[in-house]
Amino acid sequence: KGVPMEREVADILRKSRTVAVVGISDKEERDSHRVARYLKDHGYRIIPVNPKLTEVLGEACYPDLRSVPEHIDVVDVFRSIDAIPGIVEEAVAVGANVVWMQLGLQHEDAARRARDAGLSVVMNKCMKIEHSQLSGS
């Protein structure tokens, strides 16, 4: 691809405004909740996605990506690895820009599918950690 991963990640964090957090929890101690709250506190629009919840962090929660009524820049995935291909299919279907697999998540076939459809892919990185390093906070 030619672009170093660090620069691609920095570009994604700078250009993106809307982040769908797939697999978000309403439990404050969970990583998905902490990352979403951090992103919201740093100016991102958070869209919670979890079929078991109706609201998280004061935002309406959607059962899946197809139900989200606005454009999604980043699909931030907090689900098990076996759920990733389906999430990538949804991300492609709704025209998201980026699929971001959290720390510990990596799925090469799904990543290839997303890239083939024109999406950027970040694997095995945390948006909160990357953003705090980039912004020096």
pLDDT at 1: 43
Q: pLDDT digits over 52-69, tens only?
A: 999 999 999 999 999 999
Mean of pLDDT values over 31-43: 97
Answer for the pair 10, 134: CB distance below 8 angstroms, yes or no. Answer: yes
Instruction: Give the burial class of 93: count Cβ atoms within 10 A of its Cβ; 0-12 exposed, 13-18 middle, 19 or more buried.
Output: exposed
Q: How far apart are CA 16 and CA 63, in angstroms?
A: 22
Longest dimension (CA), the chain: 41
Q: For helices 5-15 and 127-135, what crossing angle results, to 10°?
A: 90
Q: How far apart are CA 42 and CA 7, in angstroms?
A: 20
Residue at 82: amino acid letter: D
Mean pLDDT of the chain: 95
Task: Please state the pTM of the whole predicted model.
Answer: 0.95
Nearest to 105 by CA among 22, 25, 43, 14: 22
pLDDT at 136: 77
Q: How many CB atoms lie within 10 A of CB 26?
A: 16
Q: How far apart are CA 73 and CA 17, in angstroms?
A: 7
**Local confidence band at 118 (pLDDT 50, 70, 90 cut-offs):** very high
